[in-house]
Amino acid sequence: MAGSKPKIAIVGAGMGGLAAAATLRQVGIDVNVYEQAPKFARIGAGIQMLPNSSRVLRGIGVLEKLQKVAFEPYSHLNRVWDTGEIKRELPMPESLYGAPFLCMHRADLHEALYSVLPPEIVHLDKKLVGLDQTKGGVTLSFADGTKADADAVIGADGVHSLVRDIVVGPDKPIHKGRIAYRAVFDASLMNGGEIQASRTKWWGVDRHIVIYYTAADRSSLYFVTSVPEPADWLTSESWSAKGDVKELRSAYEGFHPEVQMVLNACPDCHKWAILEREPLPRWSDGRVVLLGDACHPMTPYMAQGAATSIEDAAVLARCLAGVDNDGIEGAFRRYEANRKPRTSRIQAISSANTWMSGGNEDTSWLYGYDAWNVPLVGENDM
Ligand code: FAD
């Protein structure tokens, strides 16, 4: 109905979906979130929030809470796999980009985002199976046979997004032929050993490993790798697949003693397929728009997947602020015009895995980005 405030449905309660629910509510939009999982599980993984995303988290009102539990690394440190020689180090005090660099357990970030939402707007066990768009709204259909109506839909349903298939047409994400082993575990398992107080990436010839603490008191740590995987291993159940810790250790034989210490202490691990896509031709179709991994999945090598999803949430809310039901489609195009150049640039650098590999490239365009205040272009300025 013209003149009324939009009622928007978000599909997916991951980092992007929850962040969007929070930012849209801040501009007075009536939001409901539909998530396929029957409950939220504490997935064993760490996550880095660089200043570009911490700044958004501050605006959402969860940064202070996270700073109490998260580890604040001294620097973004890049070292040679065996000698430990420093390729590039970027100290990251809060004063550098006006927001902190934080490393934490993924579940702590998810819980913080969920905590600012009224629980009754997040509907679990609601797997989207179809969307039916009419001139004035959208009907969502779920696997349990129920339906919901909304003025518009945001597909924040991740790399295997069904909403993406509906907006752009079905295809498969690109598999890089590489996998990521990962584990979060208790630092006491290192028997008194310590890792550096930075987020360290150890660069090998055809593989790397990133290691950091995930708690302010350094009681837990995390690593994530990228290694070639000969068989085209792919899983859509990507968060829970187990890896073989012996295979992992042998993949990092000869790496620096600090890496060996971490891998020898690690009791078990999970593995993920590393997936990405080329930038999409469009992010919206009428009243349905994409956000986060649904529209710009990227390799994890710049630690920007969740960060850019969270940035999307801030910019989308700015584009929708004050817009009535008739203005939604234009607001969605404006959001894409403002976000796609940046996310496409990050996708390309992340895919090449060249970020901070030794050169002295500018980092301010990435970490200094302020999603709340960056000037917005019009929808036709693409
Ligand atoms: P997701 O987090 O995937 O959430 C999608 C949600 O949608 C899920 O809850 C899913 O259950 C739900 N869903 C899917 N289909 C349906 C459906 N049909 N109906 C209802 N619900 C549905 N990013 C960073 O910023 N920093 C990092 O340090 C970092 N490290 C990473 C390390 C690795 C190894 C990997 C693989 C990724 C990493 N990322 C990192 C990227 C980050 O994990 C993703 O970019 C981020 O989770 C994307 O958020 P999202 O909300 O778009 O999607």
Q: In this model, does residue 121 exceed pLDDT 70? A: yes
Ligand 1 centroid from CA 268, angstroms? 22
Q: What confidence tier does 379 reach under pLDDT thresholds 50, 70, 90?
A: confident
Please compute the mean of the pLDDT values over residues 213-229 and round it to a whole number.
Answer: 96
Q: In this model, does residue 100 exceed pLDDT 90? A: yes
Neighbours of 230 (CB within 10 A): 6
State the pLDDT at residue 259: 98
Closest C-alpha among 216, 209, 217, 212 to residue 196: 212
Ligand 1 centroid from CA 97, angstroms? 25
State the pLDDT at residue 233: 63
Report residue 373 as tokens.
């205040």
DSSP state of 231: S
Ligand 1 centroid from CA 15, angstroms? 7
User: Is the distance from the beta carbon of residue 156 to the nearest atom of ligand 1 less than 6 Å?
Assistant: yes
Q: What confidence tier does 176 reach under pLDDT thresholds 50, 70, 90?
A: confident
Amino acid at 311: E
More confident residue, 237 or 58: 58
User: Which helix or strand (DSSP H or E) is residue 342 part of?
Assistant: helix 328-352
User: Is the distance from the beta carbon of residue 127 to the nearest atom of ligand 1 less than 6 Å?
Assistant: yes
State the pLDDT at residue 382: 52
State the pLDDT at residue 42: 87
Ligand 1 centroid from CA 198, angstroms? 24
Rounded Cα distance, 288 and 179, in Å = 32
Q: In this model, does residue 136 exceed pLDDT 50? A: yes
User: Is the distance from the beta carbon of residue 48 to the nearest atom of ligand 1 less than 6 Å?
Assistant: yes
State the pLDDT at residue 234: 65
Residue range 47-86, pLDDT digits in tens: 999 999 999 999 999 999 999 999 999 999 999 999 999 9
5, 137, 151, 174 from 326: Cα distances, Å = 10, 10, 10, 36
189, 236, 245 from 192: Cα distances, Å = 8, 38, 21
State the pLDDT at residue 237: 52
State the catalytic residues. Answer: 212
Entry pTM: 0.96
Which residues have CB under 8 Å from 127's CB, separation 6+? 36, 142, 143, 144
State the pLDDT at residue 359: 82
Residue range 250-287, pLDDT digits in tens: 999 999 999 999 999 999 999 888 888 899 999 999 99
Residue range 343-354, pLDDT digits in tens: 999 999 999 999
State the pLDDT at residue 235: 61
Of the chain, the percentage scoring pLDDT greater than 70 comes to 96
User: Is the distance from the beta carbon of residue 17 to the nearest atom of ligand 1 less than 6 Å?
Assistant: yes
The preferred substitution site among 42, 157, 181, 226 for testing ligand 1, maximizing ligand atoms within 8 Å of CB, is: 157
Please compute the mean of the pLDDT values over residues 201-229 and round it to a whole number.
Answer: 96
Closest C-alpha among 79, 94, 50, 87 to residue 300: 50
User: Is the distance from the beta carbon of residue 289 to the nearest atom of ligand 1 less than 6 Å?
Assistant: no
User: Is the distance from the beta carbon of residue 34 to the nearest atom of ligand 1 less than 6 Å?
Assistant: yes
Please compute the mean of the pLDDT values over residues 302-328 and round it to a whole number.
Answer: 96
Q: What confidence tier does 153 reach under pLDDT thresholds 50, 70, 90?
A: very high
Please compute the mean of the pLDDT values over residues 167-174 and round it to a whole number.
Answer: 89
The preferred substitution site among 18, 34, 122, 309 for testing ligand 1, maximizing ligand atoms within 8 Å of CB, is: 309
Q: What confidence tier does 1 reach under pLDDT thresholds 50, 70, 90?
A: very low
Please compute the mean of the pLDDT values over residues 134-154 and round it to a whole number.
Answer: 96
Q: In this model, does residue 208 exceed pLDDT 80? A: yes
User: Is the distance from the beta carbon of residue 73 to the nearest atom of ligand 1 less than 6 Å?
Assistant: no
State the pLDDT at residue 44: 83
Please compute the mean of the pLDDT values over residues 19-36 and round it to a whole number.
Answer: 98
User: Is the distance from the beta carbon of residue 162 to the nearest atom of ligand 1 less than 6 Å?
Assistant: yes
Residue range 291-312, pLDDT digits in tens: 999 999 999 999 999 999 999 9
Ligand 1 centroid from CA 158, angstroms? 5
Which residues have CB under 8 Å from 289's CB, separation 6+? 152, 153, 154, 155, 167, 283, 316, 332, 335, 336
Ligand 1 centroid from CA 17, angstroms? 9
Q: In this model, does residue 175 exceed pLDDT 70? A: yes
